[in-house]
């Protein structure tokens, strides 16, 4: 509640100042709060408003992040096709912008959805390169998360030795 109040105040100030990049950031943050509260309809309203401003500013970095935020809500709503659509658009932007680490995040998110959908081969095709990106950039927390997602993917495939291997690697980190 304190965070919502602070971001709402920031939104009002930035709107008065015409600081639209900051307006987009505050809208996205307010959307994230509503997403955490599982108020998904309201979260989507804020995310789409934020996305529209980012488009008007032609801020490709923000557009990519906003699309990932929207995808997160669709994933929570089990609308996996929509989540994948927005994540793939975000991934394409991250690739275009050369944002290697954020590419890793998007690939991990896509891989996680493919695992949930039971498309284990596509999941692995996203998770393995994401793992490599985080290893190459020494981002150990994200590396551990991807290892955990790989383990779950192998477990669901019935490849328990591989699942145990990746779970142990994740646990070690």
pLDDT digits (tens, 9 = 90+) for 92-129: 999 999 999 999 999 999 999 999 999 999 999 999 99
pLDDT of 17 reads: 97
Angle at 96 between CA 44 and CA 122, to 5 degrees: 70
pLDDT of 90 reads: 98
pLDDT of 166 reads: 98
pLDDT tens figures, 23-68: 999 999 999 999 999 999 999 999 999 999 999 999 999 999 999 9
pLDDT tens figures, 157-169: 999 999 999 999 9
Q: How far is CA 120 from the centre of its chain?
A: 19
pLDDT tens figures, 65-82: 999 999 999 999 999 999
Threshold 0.85, pTM exceeds: yes
pLDDT tens figures, 129-163: 999 999 999 999 999 999 999 999 999 999 999 99
Band of the pLDDT at 172, cuts 50, 70, 90?
Answer: very high
3-class DSSP assignment, residue 150: helix
Mean pLDDT for the chain overall: 98
Gap between the Cα atoms of 54 and 6, Å rounded: 21
Band of the pLDDT at 14, cuts 50, 70, 90?
Answer: very high
Q: Under 8 Å CB-to-CB from 33, ≥6 apart: which residues?
A: 3, 4, 7
Gap between the Cα atoms of 148 and 145, Å rounded: 5
């Amino acid at each position: 509640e304190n965070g919502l109040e602070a971001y709402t105040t920031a939104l009002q100030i930035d709107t008065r100042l015409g600081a639209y990049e900051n307006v987009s950031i505050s809208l996205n943050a307010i959307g994230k709060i509503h997403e955490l509260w599982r108020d998904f309809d309201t979260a989507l309203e804020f995310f789409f408003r934020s996305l529209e401003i980012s488009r008007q500013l032609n801020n490709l970095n923000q557009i990519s992040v906003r699309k990932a935020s929207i995808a997160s809500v669709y994933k929570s709503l089990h609308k996996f096709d929509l989540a994948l659509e927005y994540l793939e658009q975000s991934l394409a932007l991250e690739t275009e912008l050369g944002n290697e680490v954020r590419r890793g995040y998007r690939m991990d998110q896509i891989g996680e959805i493919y695992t949930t959908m039971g498309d284990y081969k596509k999941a692995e095709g996203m998770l393995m390169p994401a793992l490599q990106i985080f290893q190459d950039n020494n981002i150990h927390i994200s590396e551990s998360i991807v290892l955990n997602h790989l383990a779950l993917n192998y477990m669901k495939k019935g490849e328990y030795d591989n699942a145990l291997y990746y779970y142990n690697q994740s646990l070690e980190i």
